[in-house]
Amino acid sequence: MIPTDDRQFPAALAAALALPFDYNDGDGVDFEPFPAFLSAEETTDWFQSWTGNTELDGDNFRVFGQDGSGGYAAFWLIRPNHPLVHQPVVFLGSEGETGVVARDLGAFLWLLAGGYGPWEAATSYEPDWTPRHNQELAAVAERFATDCKQSPAAVVEQATREFPDFDDTIMELCR
């Protein structure tokens, strides 16, 4: 566990999540940001329900949004002694989907700018879906993460390469 209970959005995340995400009747981004991180209690309740393991807490996650089915997007606090903005962004879906979608907040901003939400980055259920570049989110990424600019495919590939055992790690916690 990373010793932090800071539940304030970093400025870059707050700027990105203040913008609208257009689902566009299934042809857009399926992401509903929260106005703040879930509380420690809410996060623990969710993580225990998701895993079926009441011995766990949610201290290693900062949940900041969901898809339409209730899957959560969160920072995974796995890097000791690193600030929140340098922690990976993960998705834990309502149907058991898991994925590390970005290695840090800067990469996540470019993922959003490229027209992907956490669900779209973690799953491949909609083969005909085409992402649409989001100019407003690109402006946020340019403002806060100029040095991290990359394509959504590169963002996901780097995150997956850095954390190849995320799914196994989470599934080992399930009962």
pLDDT 10s per residue in the chain (175 long)? 444 456 789 999 999 999 998 887 767 788 999 999 999 999 999 999 999 999 999 999 999 999 988 999 999 999 999 999 999 999 999 999 999 999 999 999 999 999 999 999 998 666 777 888 999 999 999 999 999 999 999 999 999 999 999 999 999 999 9
Q: Is the alpha carbon torsion for 99, 165, 37, 81 positive or negative?
A: negative
Q: What is the pLDDT of residues 58-82, one digit of tens each?
A: 999 999 999 988 999 999 999 999 9
Cα–Cα distance for residue pair 102/109, rounded to 1 Å? 9
Q: Name the nearest CA neighbour of 145 among 18, 3, 4, 12.
A: 12
Structure confidence at residue 104 (pLDDT): 98
How many helices (H) and strands (E) are present in the chain, helices listed first?
Answer: 7, 5
Counting residues of the chain whose pLDDT is more than 90, the rounded percentage is 81
Nearest to 100 by CA among 169, 20, 11, 164: 164
CA distances from 97 to 20, 23, 91 (A): 24, 20, 8
Q: How far, CA to CA in Å, does 169 sit from each of 76, 160, 163?
A: 12, 13, 10
**Residue-level pLDDT at 19:** 94
Task: Report if pTM > 0.85.
Answer: yes
Q: What pLDDT is attached to residue 1? A: 41
3-class DSSP state for residue 16?
helix
